[in-house]
């Protein structure tokens, strides 16, 4: 069946970087765009942007430019989110979600990134 499996929780110090993976199974990554969504503790969903899985061209939402990078490795059917210069306020669960036309299904299980000294 179609599913997205994300990498496990991460604990990082401020200033470090993290790379979250999102492996697609049951379909070819190239066939659908991939979106990323952030959910801070106790907060709602926040759209981070999307990546065109055919061209690799990313689009970042306001507030997610500079330190956030979306990438792909189509040879392993996987999308990635890298965050650099981590800050405490980056502590959140990060989700990848398959885009079927500005609606998302399925979603990955989420990756908790905790930034703490």
Partner 1 sequence: QSALTQAASVSGSPGQSITISCAGTSNDVGGYTHVSWYQQHPGTAPKLMISEVSNRPSGVSNRFSGSKSGNTASLTISGLQAEDEADYYCSSYTSSATLVFGGGTRVTVL
Question: What is the phi-psi region of residue 63: left when phi exceeds 0, alpha when psi lies from -120 to 50, beta otherwise?
Answer: left
Q: How far apart are CA 20 and CA 39, in angstroms?
A: 14
Please name the residues in contact with 11: beta carbons below 8 A apart, sequence gap of 6 or more. Answer: 114, 116
Q: Count residues binding partner 1 (CB under 8 A).
A: 22
Both tokens assigned to 89: 């306020």
Q: What x-and-dash track marks residues 2-31 binding partner 1 by CB under 8 A? A: ------------------------------
Smallest distance from partner 1 to CB 24, Å: 15
Q: Token pair of 101, please?
A: 């036309």
Which x/- pattern, by CB under 8 A, does the window 51-70 give for partner 1? --------x-xx--------
What number of other Cβ atoms are within 10 A of residue 99's Cβ? 16
42 binds partner 1 (CB under 8 A): no
Q: Tell whether residue 104 is a contact of partner 1 (CB under 8 A).
A: yes
Of 46, 77, 82, 114, which one interacts with partner 1 (CB under 8 A)?
A: 46
């Amino acid at each position: 069946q179609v599913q997205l499996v994300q990498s496990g929780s991460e604990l990082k110090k401020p200033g470090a970087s993290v790379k979250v993976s999102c492996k697609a199974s049951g379909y070819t990554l190239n066939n659908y765009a991939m979106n990323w969504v952030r959910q801070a503790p106790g907060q709602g969903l926040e759209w981070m942007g999307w990546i065109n899985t055919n061209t690799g061209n990313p689009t970042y939402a306001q507030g997610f430019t500079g330190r956030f990078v979306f990438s792909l490795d189509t040879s392993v059917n996987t999308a990635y989110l890298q965050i650099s210069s981590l800050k405490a306020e980056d502590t959140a669960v990060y989700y990848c979600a398959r885009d079927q036309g500005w609606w998302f299904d399925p979603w990955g299980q989420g990756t908790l990134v905790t930034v703490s000294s």
